[in-house]
Structure 1
């Protein structure tokens, strides 16, 4: 009794001391766009060199005015010039602004105001101040576009992420658990354990981020909350279900917990290890935001495992049957009866080959659409799920100016070859104009820094379009060919292209490493070679099927023309690692039952015993990830759908039908090269088991 009390006191103390840190991560988080750039790419080198051309690092705000009278008049142009000069005194402005430039159709004006890049969340206040000034131009519709305006909208999207996302996720989990278990105390215990784990994880991450050991942004912050809540709930449900089963068989709560903990610790620890290793493999990525999620997510998973294996057992053993109130588990020594899952197991047992063949057909049919998923990058107009001012302004800008206005391709080259590089750039199809950078002044000589110049090449097509990417590739070829120029091409479009290329490279490196890590854990857990390969293959097929469904659903249901380049990689890491969890829960129980009754009987008994709890865990995890949809960003909405749908597919089809049917059909061969002997388990005949 002393150990459970001590553990409970420790966790209550940790919860009280660190619970508030879930809301403090925003203090050490940053949404710096540079974090999304590949570290070794040409565009990243250009961004580094470009800093030398400015006394301060800046973010441009593109102000666009569209005349409501049909064409821009002299008075409107003068008012726009005055507004741009006034905007240089706005909070956060650097004092630099361009004059108002009319569009070729004469219906619009644009100008650029430079903001300091270190404003962070205050960027939104600067944008608001500039908007008020710009609205003084009469008879015009005003929009603010460009990197600073997008950053302001991003900050707004992530504002209050800690409280909103946590509240929605916990609320969804509570409702599902109340509906499934018809218990009041157990859902509260599960949620309390998840909250304690999240608080401790956030406290550790906060300290590490404050000392610049790890990096946190809004995206990482949101995914950490979802990972911890989902994982902690899954592990808690597995343990509590086994405790209830053993409590019914043995009656004594201490004996029941001792057996339940001993039988649950291995699958829970193995599950946590697979997810943590899968996340840590992201450290191999060349994208900073991908690498940031690796250690942060792994810390969260470790805390979830510790909570499930210490806090919850202590609470359950102290409460006993009262933990399931108002339900009262029987303690008559009989085996639990699982009606629905007994029927599912009977179906698998009668027709295993037809079951796994039909399951494979369904998965293969869905996976056939996976190659059609466009992961070339989300256009700026689709960054947000809900309408945002910066997106509307970008549409205004693109309607009246060259598509790449405000987002030029940036060329850094040797000043001695400036004329040759300029001439080469102007011959490239898709380049609308090439101008030297003058240091922020409207006119004047080209700025020269360390023997280099900067050229701004305005693209004819929108900067986020495939046509603009093709232009940048041609531009790189042209300027690279100028002898002695040492020319490099960067800017927004080049960054998108380099990010896409890097993401493709990351997938070829990270995906096999994640799979290898999972296989090693499964081999150690199941003491087999064939079973781990079988499990990993089924989960990988489930992932491809999920991508296939996403390729159909995203454009035709949600209106996404493409996905972020990192979405398939994140989906793989989450789905394969988390999907294997349910197979781990199933197959460890199958192995336990197979030691008593043989493999074919064991898989049916294991499916019957774990069906309800694993399905509940899958529904909870899917709903938890679906809570990411409250953040109005396309990237997180896409991740939410892929993981939620994929988890349900793993839970309801792969783990319920495909894997059990395959194992049943293979029989004892599934444990190759080990020969599993039925009746080898200690105490095989002295305890009742689930009935099939």
Structure 2
């Protein structure tokens, strides 16, 4: 039913307003029901993402990486694909015989736990006698976080009095990382949605419209998650906690941004159209192209990640692209249907009234002179060259901070912010044992090179000890010394034979330094260089090396490709060459400034230890792909206005009309990405700051000052080589 404030439609008017009345109600009803049904099915999948996700770093590497190949070989040598955990016992004084007996008894009980795959290793005491460690194989077919939690509970129950205990090693770090992602379904969504709702309340000052917009975003996320979940279940996509968090934030932010643009167009249309139906179609005509172009640009940029060597980057591309598809679909179908039903009542108490004279002004009309954004146009019109020159200089100065960016990788022990038992255990382990204990380098060696490689390892700096996988040895390994292979049994025990698989043996090199340290990485790189490509080196350290190298490769390859793809899209959209080139340059300048400021904040304020090489790549993908959104919103409206009023007047009108909606969209996107900072993950905290700060920079500086001032100074030549560049119109076509 029409609202009381909506004007009645005469019979004659009704004949010219499109399809019959029943179809105008049936079509939006079908759309709403379809979205409600799909969202209701997808909603419960928020609690099931861990069923199809993995945080195993090795699974992200390309199949050709040495670490990947070694990881695939390990189960064939050991007969198990269990994840190793290190149980560490430490005391202030030397452990006495009674305490050691209790530790040994507790270690024997580990085999009875459902989380443990087989027996634990014998107890190994440190040289100073104040610590003991036990290697425990944790089942990989279970949730590693839950398995380690069970092991930690058992360890504490069996620990002697006065002895501190830690569960660390690869399984411990995986469990702590998984625990850091536990708030991704509840806390992350609650913070993001709460921030968006507050912004929408302030923007619209309406009790109904913010919930319509936010509901559109939530249903887009539910359907996107449902699609991604089943693709991950089928093995088509690789899903991780990191990818999941980015998907949530990206869909909420993008869907809200697209909704803001549509709502602004719908409000305009309600003032110039007599009926809701006509206003809906007018709003769709005005918002379809910029939303499609904006979403298409983001999708194209994300799909460039398919060129990545790292599977984690490669997986993010299609996962996030699916999210953007549903964000656009919801903003162009569900939202129009909801607003068609609500009509002017959605904007209560500030309902837009039908005013035929309030539509587009006549050709050559002056720019409206009221409001903050229209006052800004006065500055752009009076001093365009000064505005863009000063703005560019400030951004260039901020770019200088990039020189302090440390994005060459961080230790795995620093990935989790805040408390981490695995990190504390690793530090304690390094005090009493070689730093690489429990996380050795694995070397797949041709059988005929066993003696040569073993001798090289024993002589290498940074290698503390060497062992070889031997199935008939207690614990599954045997020591390798200068005198040959020795068993771990009492003196006189026969030397076990190394296990041979496909004419290879598997050596384990315990490093003197922590497996995630720079010194350990240097040792492994040296081993690879000295031993040649025939010897495959894997393990925790090698995985970190291969991941960092692949990330640097991805960064150098993908960033130029994204720029080329976005440039091509902008040329097609704006029917121009010069305008897209200038827009790309402004966005790159904005990205450089955001990274420069971020580097200074990370190093000197937050005290972060560094950054993963993928951080600049992810920051670039989101800032360039999303940052160009606001330029698309602005310049498509500028082009529309320029066709009627001329280029320079069109620039001022476009800036004035889009100022409020684009600013609101920027605040929403910055708030949603900032919500990633609530998760205690270093990578996500850094990405949250970079993207949030960069989006605000794009919104308030680049799109508001730099782009319009530069375009105004260039004049109609901004549209070169299209006809609009040669078209002269009274009132500012220059």
Asked whether the two chains share a fold, i.e. TM above 0.5, the reply is yes
Matching of residue 18 in structure 1 with residue 42 in structure 2: yes
Instruction: Give, in whole Å, the separation in 2 of the partners of 1:17 and 1:380.
Output: 37
Gapped regions of structure 1 (runs ≥ 5): 686-692
Contact 1:409 1:491 (8 Å CA) reproduced: yes
SS at match of 2:509: strand
Paired residues for 1:596-675 under 5 Å: 596-675=644-723
1:420 — aligned with what?
452
In the alignment, structure 1 residue 441 sits paired with structure 2 residue 476: yes
For 1:514 and 1:124, the matched residues in 2 are separated by: 41
1:520 and 2:568 correspond: yes
Of 167, 175, 187, 2:198 maps to 175
Match of 2:637 in 1: 589
Structure 2 CA distance, aligned partners of 1:550 and 1:172?
22
Deviation at 1:106, TM superposition (A): 3.0
Q: In 2 relative to 1, CA 10–260 (structure 1 residues): closer, same or farther, beyond 3 Å?
A: same
After superposition, the C-alpha distances for 1:291-316 in whole angstroms (9 at most, x for unaligned) are: 11111111110111011111111222
Deviation at 1:191, TM superposition (A): 0.7
Work out which of the residue numbers 67, 74, 82 in structure 2 matches 1:58.
82
Indicate the SS of the match to 1:429.
Answer: coil
Residue aligning to 1:561: 609
Quick one: distance in 1 between partners of 2:725 and 2:442?
69
Distance 2:39 2:125 in 1: 59
1:409 aligns with 2:472: no
Alignment match, 1:690: none
Separation in structure 1 between the aligned mates of residue 141 and residue 48 of structure 2, nearest angstrom = 20
Query: Does structure 1 residue 200 correspond to structure 2 residue 232?
Result: no
Give the Cα separation in 1 of the matches to 2:170 and 2:162. Answer: 26
* Alignment counterpart, residue 275 of structure 1, candidates 276, 298, 302: 298
Q: Which runs of 5 or more structure 2 residues have no equivalent in the other structure?
A: 1-23, 360-367, 479-486, 488-495
Query: Which of 334, 339, 353 pairs up with 2:358?
Result: 334
* 1:314–1:380 Cα change, 3 Å: same
CA contact (8 A) 1:597 1:679 kept: no
Deviations 1:332-378 (A, max 9, x none): 33368760101111111111111111111121111112132112222
1:565 CA drift (Å): 2.2
- State the 4+ residue runs in structure 1 displaced beyond 6 angstroms: 677-681
Instruction: Tell me the residue number matched to 2:395.
Output: 363
Moved more, 13-22 or 164-173: 13-22
Q: Is the 8 A contact 1:583 1:655 kept in 2?
A: yes
Question: How many residues are paired up?
Answer: 678
**1:133-152 correspondence runs (5 A):** 133=157, 135-152=158-175
Q: Is the 8 A contact 1:595 1:678 kept in 2?
A: no
5 Å-filtered alignment, 1:106-505, equals 106-120=129-143, 121-133=145-157, 135-332=158-355, 333-334=357-358, 339-439=371-471, 440-441=475-476, 443=478, 444=487, 445=496, 446-480=498-532, 486-505=534-553
- For 2:128 and 2:613, the matched residues in 1 are separated by 36
On the 8 A contact 2:299/2:321 being kept in 1, the answer is: yes
| Partner Cα distance (2:309, 2:75) in 1 | 21
TM-score by length of structure 1 reads 0.94
Residue 119 of structure 2 aligns to a residue in which SS?
Answer: strand
Distance 2:559 2:231 in 1: 27
CA drift of 1:60 comes to: 0.8
Structure 1 residue 161: deviation in Å? 2.0
Q: For 1:246-297, what per-residue CA distance to the aligned partner results, in whole angstroms no more than 9, with x for missing partners?
A: 3234454333332221111001001111111111111111111111111111
Q: Report how far residue 463 of structure 1 moved.
A: 1.6
8 Å Cα contact 1:38-1:498 kept in structure 2: no
Q: What SS is found at the alignment partner of 1:449?
A: coil
Pick aligned residue for 1:35 from 44, 49, 59: 59
Distance 1:160 1:479, change over 3 A: same
RMSD: 2.2
- Separation in structure 2 between the aligned mates of residue 476 and residue 10 of structure 1, nearest angstrom: 57
- Partner SS for 1:667: helix
